[in-house]
C-alpha cells in the first residue's frame, strides 16, 4: 500500500507541475480525488488491511489528500494571478496621465523642414542624410578647405577628443552623396549643424541647414536662380523679392549669397535683418571642379550647382518670429502657437 501511495504522490507532482490551465488542474483533481479517483480507490482497499495497518495507512492517506488539495488550490491561484497580470499588461493604463486628452504640437522647424522636403521631392530631388559627428576630410578638405585655408576661421568648430567634429554645415553630405552616384543626379540633405559661436536674435550654436546639389551636363547659374526662387516663393506662398550677391565659398566658383526681402519688417529694417531690409539666407554657386573631382566626377563633362542655408531663418520669416533662440528655449507657450 505504501508503494502505491508513493507512486501516486510522484505522479501527482509531475502532473501538477506540468499543468498550465485551470481545466488541466480540474482533471487532475477528478482523477485523484474524485469518486472513481486513484486515491479514493486506495482508500477502499484499506478494508483488507489489519486494524493497526488501517490506522497507519489511513493517517498517511489523509495527509496526502490534504497536501494534494492544498497544492491544487495554490496552483489554481497561481494561474489566476498569471491571467490577471497578462490582462493588466494588455490593458495597461498610466493612472498619472491627465483625464483630459492632451494635444501635442509639431515644432515649427519640423513643419517647415517637412514642407521643404515635400517641395524638393516634387521637383525630383532625393533626400539624403548624414552623420552629425563628421571627420575632418568630409567637413573641410574634400570641400576644398585645406588645413591652412582662411575659410576655416569663419566656422567655429566643436572638435571632439576622438579627432572627429560636430559638422559645421550639411555640406559633407555632398561628398558622401557624390561617392555613391553617377550623374545626372540631384539631392538635398536637411539636418542639424553646430557652430561654437555666441548667440543673438539671429545666430545660434545649434541650428538646421538644408543642403542641395544638382549635377548634370549643361547646368548653369540660370538653373540655380530658378530653383532657389521657386523654393522661396513656395515656402512663403507668394512672390518674394530675392537677390544674388557675389561672395566667396571655397567649394563653389563663382559663389553667391542669396538674400530675400525681410518678411518681418517688409524691408523697412528691424533687428532680425539688422536694419538692412534683407535676410541673408544661403550661400550658393557653381560647384568647384576640385569638389567634383573629390566626388569622383569629371568636371570637364559635368557641371553642377550647390546651395546651403538655414531652416530657422525661413521659419522666422514665415511665422514672424523675431528671435532664433525661441526654437531651443523649451517654452511651451511659444510651441503651442504652432
Does residue 102 belong to any structural domain of this protein?
no
- The whole-angstrom separation of Cα 206 and Cα 195 is 7
Q: Over the Cα atoms of the chain, what is R_g? A: 38
User: Pick from 90, 120, 152: which residue ends a domain?
Assistant: 90
Beta strands in the chain (DSSP E): 126-127, 133-134, 158-159, 165-166, 185-194, 206-216, 242-247, 252-261, 278-287, 303-310
Of the candidates 60, 90, 120, which is a domain's last residue? 90
**Domain finish residue from 59, 90, 121:** 90
Query: Which DSSP string do the residues of 83-125 spell out, in sequence order?
Result: HHHHHHHHT---TTS-SS-------HHHHHHHHHHHHHHHTT-
Answer yes or no: is 96 within a domain: no
- Do 7 and 147 belong together in one domain? no
pLDDT for 328: 86
Assess whether 75 and 121 both reside in one domain.
no
Structural domain contains residue 265:
yes
Q: Which ranges of the chain have pLDDT less than 50?
A: none
State the pLDDT at residue 99.
66
Asked whether residue 167 falls in the same domain as residue 46, the answer is no
- Same domain (yes/no): 173, 305: yes
84 & 127 share domain? no
Alpha-carbon distance values, 62 to 1, 15, 34, 71, 312 (Å): 14, 20, 15, 14, 82
**pLDDT of the residue at 151:** 64
Q: Is residue 54 part of a domain?
A: yes
Q: What is the pLDDT of residues 280-303, one digit of tens each?
A: 888 999 999 999 999 999 999 999
Other Cβ atoms within 10 Å of 331 Cβ, number: 9
Size of the chain in residues: 338
- Domain containing residue 59: 2-90
Q: What is the pLDDT of residue 132?
A: 95
Q: Judge whether 100 lies within some domain.
A: no
Residue 95 covered by a domain: no
Same domain, 37 and 120: no
For residue 171, the SS3 value is coil
- The answer to whether the CB of 304 falls within 8 A of the CB of 292 is yes
Q: How many other C-beta atoms are found inside a 10 Å radius of the C-beta of residue 86?
A: 10
In this structure, the answer to whether residues 189 and 264 fall within a common structural domain is yes
Q: Is residue 326 part of a domain?
A: yes
| pLDDT score at 5 | 75
Coil/strand/helix, residue 337: coil
CATH number at 286 reads 3.30.930.10
Residues 113 and 85 in one domain: no
Judge whether 12 lies within some domain.
yes
Q: Cα(first)–Cα(last) distance of the chain, in Å? A: 83
Block residue for cell numbers 557641371:
303
Are 204 and 325 in a shared domain? yes
Q: Which residue in this structure is represented by grid cell 553642377?
A: 304
Indicate the pTM of the whole model.
0.64
Residues 301 and 161 in one domain: yes
Note the pLDDT of residue 80. Answer: 86
Measured distance CA(37)–CA(225) in Å, rounded: 93
Cβ neighbours around 258 below 10 Å, total: 24
CA pair distance 261, 265, nearest whole angstrom = 9
Cα-based angle 37, 41, 44 (whole degrees, multiple of 5): 145
Total number of domains in the chain: 2
Clarify whether residues 32 and 118 are in a common domain. Answer: no
Considering the domain architecture, whether residues 273 and 318 belong to the same structural domain is answered as: yes
Place of cell 536674435: 201
Amino acid at each position: 500500500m505504501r508503494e502505491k501511495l508513493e507512486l501516486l504522490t510522484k505522479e501527482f507532482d509531475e502532473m501538477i507541475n506540468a499543468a498550465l490551465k485551470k481545466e488541466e488542474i480540474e482533471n487532475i483533481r477528478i482523477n485523484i480525488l474524485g469518486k472513481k479517483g486513484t486515491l479514493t480507490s486506495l482508500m477502499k482497499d484499506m478494508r483488507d488491511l489489519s486494524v493497526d495497518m488501517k490506522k497507519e495507512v489511513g493517517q498517511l492517506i489523509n495527509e496526502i489528500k490534504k497536501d494534494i488539495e492544498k497544492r491544487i488550490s495554490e496552483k489554481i491561484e497561481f494561474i489566476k494571478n498569471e491571467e490577471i497580470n497578462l490582462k493588466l499588461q494588455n490593458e495597461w493604463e498610466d493612472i498619472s496621465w491627465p483625464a483630459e486628452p492632451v494635444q501635442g504640437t509639431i515644432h515649427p522647424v519640423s513643419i517647415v523642414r517637412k514642407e521643404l522636403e515635400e517641395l524638393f521631392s516634387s521637383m525630383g530631388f532625393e533626400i539624403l542624410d548624414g552623420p552629425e559627428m563628421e571627420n575632418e576630410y568630409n567637413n573641410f578638405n574634400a570641400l576644398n578647405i585645406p588645413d591652412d585655408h582662411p575659410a576655416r576661421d569663419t566656422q567655429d568648430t566643436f572638435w571632439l577628443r576622438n579627432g572627429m567634429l560636430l559638422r559645421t554645415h550639411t555640406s559633407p553630405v555632398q561628398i558622401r552623396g557624390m561617392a555613391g552616384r553617377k550623374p545626372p543626379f540631384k539631392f538635398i540633405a536637411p539636418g542639424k549643424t553646430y557652430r561654437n559661436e555666441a548667440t543673438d536674435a539671429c545666430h545660434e550654436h545649434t541650428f538646421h541647414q538644408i543642403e542641395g546639389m544638382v549635377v548634370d551636363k549643361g547646368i548653369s547659374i540660370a538653373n540655380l536662380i530658378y530653383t532657389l526662387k521657386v523654393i522661396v516663393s513656395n515656402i512663403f506662398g507668394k512672390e518674394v523679392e530675392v537677390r544674388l550677391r557675389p561672395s566667396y565659398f571655397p567649394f563653389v566658383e563663382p559663389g553667391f549669397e542669396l538674400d530675400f526681402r525681410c518678411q518681418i519688417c517688409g524691408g523697412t529694417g528691424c533687428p532680425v535683418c539688422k536694419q538692412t531690409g534683407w535676410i541673408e539666407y544661403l550661400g550658393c554657386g557653381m560647384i568647384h571642379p576640385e569638389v567634383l573631382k573629390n566626388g569622383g566626377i569629371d568636371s570637364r563633362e559635368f557641371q553642377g550647382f550647390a546651395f546651403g542655408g538655414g531652416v530657422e531663418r525661413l521659419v522666422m520669416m514665415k511665422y514672424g518670429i523675431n528671435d532664433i533662440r525661441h526654437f531651443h528655449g523649451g517654452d511651451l507657450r511659444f510651441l503651442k502657437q504652432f
